[in-house]
Amino acid sequence: MDTPVFLKVGASLTGKTWRDRLDVAASRNALAIAQKTGMSDILARVIAGRGVSLDDASGFLEPAIRDLMPDPSTLAGLDETVARLVSAVARGETVALFGDYDVDGACSVALMQRFLGPLGAKVIPYIPDRIFEGYGPNIGAMDELIGKGASLIVTLDCGSTSIEPIAHARLRGADVLVIDHHQVLHELPPADAVVNPNRPDDLSGLGHLSAAGVTFMVLVGLNRALRRAGVTGLPDLMALVDLVALSTICDVVPLRGLNRAFVRRGLEVIRAGANRGLSALVLAARVSGPVNPYHLGYLIGPRINAGGRIGDAGLGARLLAGADEHEALAIAARLDDLNSERQRIEKQAVDEAIAAAEAEIGDGEGPPVLVLASEAWHPGIVGLVAARLKERFGRPAFAIALGPDGTGTGSGRSVQGADLGRAVTSAVEEGLLVKGGGHAMAAGITVMPGGIGALRAFLNATLAEDVAAARAGAAVLIDAALTARGAGLDLARDLERAGPFGMGNPGPVFAFPAHHIRFPQVVGTGGHIRFTLASGDGGRLKGIAFSAAGTPLGGALDTAGDMPLHVCGTLSINHWQGRDEVQFRLVDAARP
């Protein structure tokens, strides 16, 4: 049943309906939570709106890994993987760690390296070059690692669909373990063991974990087995959960249950500064105040990814695995420089892609899925371009970089309800892609020369119904109404108890009825608009609308004048020069 329309906004400036996040039953639950626990009415509404029952309300505010951690052996293939790793540790084998070139892959490699290294295993980390090697294991890399003496190769955040490279490595005498979380619908690779909660026969219910989360589960099982075998001096696993938190935020997996506990505990570890590499990156990113999920997702993560996008793909894993202080500062500075270059390249590509999309959509609805390609785009930033297209046009989008021979390397981002990973896997099976894979919200592809037209037709036919349903139901869910005066620091700090927020635990969205926009101005190179939100009772709240310049939202802010607007958005605490203040981030607006 649809929840009530909020403030009678049936069509906002972005074409969305505003709805109360809480239906009648959830509102009653919120009232009961507030009465029985003593928490504020607003906080009670926030957690009730996320499906938390009265019995679970107090525990939700204090998620603990020890309470939410299942037996690792519930993961298919985990016991076999642990047994092979125990053997590698006992014999002091050379273990190659083959990871993906994104944050999740870097964190997974660093986790395994920081656990195995102190136990005597010789570890060879390997992150493939995005441009020359592409995603996942390849035969050349397998040969190189075996040539360096690796008797065991562990793939991390990849490998689930790498049948030929893994078969080749095993023919050459190496054992292969796959630790991954990407979708695999049919044949498993011929590895010695595969741990992937998204493999068809896995019943663990842990498919929401990042690859580093799955890696952590493997290490919990390994730690238990080594302890039972009498091994002492084992690394402190809880000191490594910072990497799981970073991957969980940056890979945009659901912040529910164990994932949320990982992030809560991981943030504590990060703030303690134990990881020199992360601390150096926090410094390079000019983070102000205690590290929070926003910093991980928008400041730290992009810098790690910049190495894989346009530089040395191994920089992030090397930084996180335990670089000394001098090396950590040098790598962090290099990643910061690469990120600045990435931003420049990205802006050029995004501007071109938006213009192409607007021309394709025209005055009508346009296609359900945007599939755009260009010879001018750098393959390392197509995922970012796809994300911006998805956000701007409210539909799945693919951005594809065309090579000199016409081969396309692309990335896609989806909207809730349209499973991109499944569609891409089907396209591979239909012979429309050289390779491809991913999960519901994101996917990577390689398309043969001249194949984009057929791929575009297939994706639009496959996803049209799901996209139409998603767009028809597009709504902004409102947690409560506030005024600028009421949105103070005490409320913002109280709300943080329900975090961390992200996919699966969305940040609370508040409506501010009939407020005035004061002093709007464009800042930075991303088209962000800063403004002051003013209420009739004299309340003032600093606000920002990201990437709003040139959009209907941005136009409304610029021309509002003395006309009030209904606005909605999220609240956060901005730490600057030793002072804390509440900041409002605009999500949508409507004319009263």
pLDDT tier, 364 (very low <50, low <70, confident <90, very high otherwise)? confident
Q: Are residues 460 and 509 in the same domain?
A: no
Does the residue 325 lie in any domain?
Answer: yes
Please report whether residue 30 resides in a domain. no
pLDDT in tens, 241-278: 999 999 999 998 999 999 999 999 999 999 999 899 99
What secondary structure, in 3-state letters, does 388-427 show?
A: HHHHHHCCCEEEEEECCCCCEEEEEECCCCCCHHHHHHHH
Residue range 22-50: mean pLDDT, rounded: 96
Alpha-carbon distance 572 to 332, whole Å?
27
Q: Check whether residue 85 and residue 199 sit in a common domain.
A: yes
Nearest C-alpha neighbor of 533 from the set 545, 523, 546: 545
In a shared domain, residues 212 and 274:
yes
Q: Which two three-digit tokens encode residue 323?
A: 């670089």
Question: Are 333 and 410 found together in one domain?
Answer: no
End position of a domain, from candidates 448, 472, 496: 472
Residue where a domain stops, chosen among 418, 453, 472: 472
pTM: 0.90
Q: Which of 98, 101, 100 is nearest to 313 (CA)?
A: 101
Given a contact cutoff of 8 angstroms between Cβ atoms, the answer to whether 118 and 108 are in contact is no
Residues spanned by the domain of 432:
365-472
User: Does a structural domain hold residue 194?
Assistant: yes
Identify whether residues 114 and 220 lie together within a single domain: yes
- Look at residue 345 and tell me if it is in a domain: no
251-to-180, 258, 398 alpha-carbon distances in Å: 13, 15, 18
523 found inside a domain: yes
> Do 251 and 102 fall into the same domain?
yes
User: In this structure, are 322 and 464 located in the same domain?
Assistant: no
Do 465 and 503 lie in one domain? The reply is no
* Residues 209-232 pLDDT 10s: 999 999 999 999 999 999 999 999
Nearest-angstrom CA–CA distance, 476 and 478: 6
Closest CA to 169 of 187, 192, 185, 188: 192
Q: Which residues share a beta bridge with 124? A: 96
Give the C-alpha distances (Å, rounded to integers) separating 35 from 78, 482, 498: 44, 21, 17
Mean pLDDT of 175-191: 92
CATH (domain of 539):
2.40.50.460
Comparing 401 with 561, the larger pLDDT belongs to 401
pLDDT at 130: 86
Of the segments 42-46, 182-186, 416-420, which one has the largest average pLDDT value?
42-46
Q: What CATH number has the domain bearing residue 249?
A: 3.90.1640.30
Count the domains in the chain.
Answer: 3
150 and 285 part of one domain:
yes
Does residue 296 belong to any structural domain of this protein?
A: yes
Instruction: Find tokens 């296609």 and name the residue.
Output: 367
Average pLDDT, rounded, for the chain = 94
Confidence of residue 2 (pLDDT cuts 50, 70, 90): low
| pLDDT band, residue 1 (cuts 50/70/90) | very low
492 and 465 within one domain:
no
CB 284, CB 336: distance < 8 Å: yes
Q: Are residues 391 and 260 in the same domain?
A: no
Residue 141 lies in a domain: yes
Among the candidates 429, 445, 472, a domain finishes at 472
In a domain, 43, yes or no: no
Q: Are residues 203 and 165 located together in one domain of the fold?
A: yes
